[in-house]
Structure 1
Amino acid sequence: MSTNPETTRTASTPGPARRDRDPAVVGVPNPAASRSRTWPRVAAMVAGFAVVMIVSNSIASALAHPVAALAVGPVLAALMLWLYRFAVQRIERRPAVELAPTNASRRVLAGFAGGFLLAAATIGVLAAVGSYRIVGWGSVPGALTVVGMMAAVAVAEEVLFRGVIFRLVQGRWGTWIALGVSGVLFGAVHLLNPGATLWGAAAIATEAGLLLGAAYVATGSLWLPIGLHLGWNITIAAIFGTVTSGSGARDALVTAITPGPAWLTGGDFGPEAGIVAIAVCAAAAAVLLVIAHRRGRLVGRRGRLVGRRPSATQPSEG
């Protein structure tokens, strides 16, 4: 057992120790380090994972056969998770507790179910008002190809935007600024898609950026946002056959059209740019943020946990 005096001191200090151990609020690599030592590492981590995400998503998007997609997509996802753990251990010198295996499968499945329900609710509302209609059968192999591709995409984007950007910004400036920064950057990267629009990027920043960030804060884990992201993308693209984030329609289980005004259907960007998806996802994000507040996981501007209820073994933080 280590007898490092710094470790002993931190463990004996209730406030900071709880904050450092809480994966939802793990911030910069070493909060006590000087800015000159810390921020170059942070910048390198953000830039490095941005490049890795672009490469991973490019490879995944090029997969055109279901066997290749189902084989390569999960491998890319696994490599991204391994690289994140490695980087956290080497750069931040701590275990990647936000990817702890405890309850990992349960959280991924819960997230997937949540993403499916949110996407299905969005399509259901559009169908009820005549703005979604199935016009034919699609392709099972095509849908499986999308599933494999989305496995890589969901993991790569969550690692970068929630695991790296959101987490580090929250550790320095608090939850609300982190939600704004990570959401804006998440929306901006979708401007690279073929059918992208400024409105679509703003919608993605509002609905997905807020929802996925809230999912991370509520659990202190990347598994729930990964599941949500994957469930939403597969449901929208592979099951209901609509455009996803302006990247164009792919083969799905059904062939569908979305007639109606762009503000409702999302137009060429897909349902994610429509008012229905924004409302549905914003409502879910609000629920998750309430849960995060009740669990004391929201972080204020000065790094203080907000909303944690005091207990007999845990003194109040005021």
Structure 2
Amino acid sequence: MTFRPYADRHPIPAAILCAALQFGLTLLILALGKQYAPPEAYRKVKLLAFASTVILPLLLTHALGLWRDVGFNRIKPTGFFVACLLPVILFASMGVRLPAPGGLGGDLLIQFFNAFGEELLFRGVIFLVLLRLPLWQAITLNGLLFGSMHLIHGYMDGDWSHALVWALMSSCAGMMFAAARASTGSLWLLIGLHMVLNLASMYSNIEAAAGALVLQRVEWAIKAVELGLALYLIASRTRRSALAQTVA
């Protein structure tokens, strides 16, 4: 049995396998680099691990024959997508700090490839695999798998408790991204949203203006917004489906 029929019949194990492949590949590159590369070259090892988060999703998209379905052919925002920009507004609510001279271009490039790879894998390949399930399950599992990928920071930084909190918070963003993907059908819009949200977090002036405690409260408020938006989309789609069945 090839992977595509397996994914059609067993969406949850197939989705977990796709995420595990990326997690395992990234971890393997980092572990080999830490073991064999000199300390001064470890930055290049991290760049190689980062590159794998773009290459593997491209290979999976090709292997599953999903090029026409992942959402590259749609760029029409919806009202729900516009609402998903609220976390960006919250991060920028106390202004933004300017990057170092020459730093913006590098940050834009890195965040584009980061968003491209993660969105192609999670809201492209994995989301399409999970759509064999009810929408609420697809969105929830997509968010949880997305969050679990951020446990890699526990290995990179040695702080597993912080990585666990990061994974849980990232799961909320992942659910919102999946809900926005269900609303728009567009992967490019999700790549843009993901990129802008990351940049807003990086350049937020909240901590400088009001302190770390206020920043923490804003971050938790943002997670509540992200989770609330995902739940709203799930509830509205479930209600719409129930009405359609009643009419039929």
Question: TM-score category by the smaller chain?
Answer: 0.5 to 0.7
Deviation at 1:148, TM superposition (A): 0.6
Higher strand share: 1
Please say if 1:86 is aligned against 2:62.
yes
- Any conservation in 1 of the 2:84–2:226 contact (CA below 8 Å)? no
Take 2:7 and 2:62, find their aligned partners in 1: how far apart are those partners? 22
Please say if 1:178 is aligned against 2:138.
yes
Q: Determine which of 221, 224, 246 is the counterpart of 2:186.
A: 221
Gaps of 5+ in 2: 31-41
Q: C-alpha deviations, 1:189-218, integer Å up to 9, x for none?
A: 212223634333212212x02101101222
| TM-score of the superposed pair, with normalisation by structure 1 | 0.53
Q: Determine which of 204, 208, 213 is the counterpart of 2:170.
A: 204
Take 1:168 and 1:286, find their aligned partners in 2: how far apart are those partners? 20
Higher helix share: 2
Deviation at 1:139, TM superposition (A): 1.2
- Any conservation in 1 of the 2:139–2:175 contact (CA below 8 Å)? yes
Provide the residue aligned with 1:130 in structure 2. none
Q: How well do the aligned residues superpose, as a CA RMSD in angstroms?
A: 4.5
- Any conservation in 1 of the 2:23–2:152 contact (CA below 8 Å)? no
Take 1:317 and 1:152, find their aligned partners in 2: how far apart are those partners? 45
Deviation at 1:153, TM superposition (A): 0.9
How has the CA–CA distance of structure 1 residues 184 and 309 changed in structure 2, closer, same or farther, with 3 Å as cutoff?
same
Q: Name which one, 1 or 2, has greater alpha-carbon Rg.
A: 1
Which secondary structure state, in structure 1, belongs to the residue aligned with residue 4 of structure 2? coil
Q: Determine which of 263, 266, 285 is the counterpart of 2:216.
A: 266
Take 2:7 and 2:55, find their aligned partners in 1: how far apart are those partners? 31
> Quick one: higher RCO (CA 8 Å, sep 6+), 1 or 2?
2
Q: Determine which of 63, 84, 90 is the counterpart of 1:121.
A: 90
Deviation at 1:291, TM superposition (A): 6.0
- Any conservation in 1 of the 2:84–2:176 contact (CA below 8 Å)? no
Take 2:120 and 2:105, find their aligned partners in 1: how far apart are those partners? 23
Provide the residue aligned with 2:109 in structure 1. 148
Length, aligned pairs only: 224
Q: For residue 201 of structure 1, what is the amino acid of its counterpart? A: A
Take 1:116 and 1:50, find their aligned partners in 2: how far apart are those partners? 28
Deviation at 1:120, TM superposition (A): 2.3
How has the CA–CA distance of structure 1 residues 222 and 174 changed in structure 2, closer, same or farther, with 3 Å as cutoff?
same
Please say if 1:98 is aligned against 2:98.
no
Gaps of 5+ in 1: 1-27, 64-68, 70-74, 128-132, 243-254, 297-305, 311-315
How has the CA–CA distance of structure 1 residues 100 and 260 changed in structure 2, closer, same or farther, with 3 Å as cutoff?
closer
| TM-score of the superposed pair, with normalisation by structure 2 | 0.65
